[in-house]
């Protein structure tokens, strides 16, 4: 059932969720953020963001920051930055999705987190399939695992915070 954030779901009237209403606009905006983030993730799938391409600008930047670094060290840091990007972009996707789901459905938080994780998994698998089809990229199950680890970590953090807030709120 759709409901506005912070309101009792029984208080929502049918007119509140009509296109153009304030509640509908807020829910639509939450989902727009999710769609925009997925679109951004998909732009990172192309050949222009391959390891060879990113090393063209990361390499000189790292050599400037660390003039004594050898080529192997620069390559390792480039790899770590790229893999950290996987983790962070899917952590953000999971949190945006959780927020959109919370504003849209009156379900337990664990259910919403599971749905967020499922969406992150779907996007990660599609992303890796697209990378496997790209000329200068390769799809890897290890990247899917890293993506899901980022999403799950962010959701665990969010659920832990929500649990602490609920325990500290007087009954």
Q: For 137-156, what is each residue's pLDDT tens digit?
A: 778 899 999 999 999 999 99
Q: Which two tokens stand for residue 109?
A: 């938080």
Range of the domain at 16: 9-47+85-168
Q: What is the CA radius of gyration of the chain?
A: 20
17 found inside a domain:
yes
2 found inside a domain:
no
- What's the structural domain count of the chain? 1
Instruction: Give 14's pLDDT tier (boundaries 50, 70, 90).
Output: very low
Q: How much is the mean pLDDT over the chain? A: 82
pTM confidence score: 0.78
Angle 164-166-171 (CA atoms, 0-180°, nearest 5)?
135
19 found inside a domain:
yes
106 found inside a domain:
yes
73 found inside a domain:
no
113 found inside a domain:
yes
| d(C-alpha 43, C-alpha 26), whole Å | 26
| d(C-alpha 44, C-alpha 41), whole Å | 5
138 found inside a domain:
yes
117 found inside a domain:
yes
- The residue with tokens 């090393």 is 55
The sign of the CA dihedral 53, 151, 98, 155 is negative
């Amino acid at each position: 059932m759709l409901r506005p954030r912070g309101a009792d779901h029984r208080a929502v009237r049918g007119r509140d969720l009509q296109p153009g209403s304030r509640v509908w606009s807020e829910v639509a905006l939450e989902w727009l953020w999710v769609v925009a983030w997925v679109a951004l993730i998909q732009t990172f799938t192309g050949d222009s963001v391959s390891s060879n391409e990113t090393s063209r600008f990361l390499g000189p930047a790292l050599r400037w920051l660390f003039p004594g670094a050898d080529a192997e060290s620069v390559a390792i840091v480039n790899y770590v930055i790229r893999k950290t990007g996987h983790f962070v972009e899917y952590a953000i996707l999971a949190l945006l999705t959780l927020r959109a789901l919370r504003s849209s459905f009156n379900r337990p938080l664990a259910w919403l987190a599971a749905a967020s994780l499922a969406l992150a998994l779907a996007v990660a698998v599609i992303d890796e399939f697209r990378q496997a089809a790209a000329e200068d990229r390769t799809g890897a199950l290890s990247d899917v695992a890293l993506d899901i680890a980022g999403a799950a970590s962010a959701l665990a953090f969010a659920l832990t915070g929500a649990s602490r807030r609920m325990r500290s709120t007087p009954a």
